Amino acid sequence: MTQIIIQDICLELGNALTKKKFRIALAESCTGGLVCQHLTNIPGSSVWFDRGFVTYSNESKIELLKVSQDTLLKFGAVSKEVASEMALGALNKSHAQIALSITGIAGPSGGSIEKPVGTVFFAIAHQNKIIFNTSKVFPGSRENIRESSCLFALNQVLALTLNPQV
């Protein structure tokens, strides 16, 4: 059921991006390229999908997206600040007009009291600024957390893309 919903959202997002003559770039950590997979499952997505960065390690976030080492040390890889820098990095390292980032703790371990397993941060960048930044805590297994993160992220970027002010 979730796969059908995600496919429908991806189709609608592709249409919205095409109408605006936008391309999208992704920076994924805990989802490991899952959003990119969903987007590229849509035939013709090369018109509106530019590229994806799977930056699981801190080093890859620094090297590929220019996330600041200081930001990583001060706030941790799973933070609003890192999600923002990832989205801006994906935007600046691509030919896209909008970029989405996801970083979180999919589990089953790695959580803390402040950031329990299931904590995921999202950011969307457009015109070199962050236009969306939030966090969610998703319940369930690693797979459920990753799928829920994809669904939430795609819904957010679709809503913003449909917004006439973006």
Strand pairing category for 98-104 and 24-28: parallel
Q: Are 50 and 24 in contact (CB under 8 A)?
A: yes
Q: Which residues share a beta bridge with 119?
A: 137
CATH numbers and ranges of domains, the chain: 2-162 (3.90.950.20)
7-41 tens-digit pLDDT: 999 999 999 999 999 999 999 999 999 999 999 99
118-166 tens-digit pLDDT: 999 999 999 999 999 999 999 999 999 999 999 999 999 999 999 998 9
Element (H, E) at 122: strand 119-126
Q: Is the pTM of this model over 0.75?
A: yes
Alpha helices by DSSP H, listed for the chain, are 2-20, 34-40, 58-65, 69-75, 80-92, 142-162
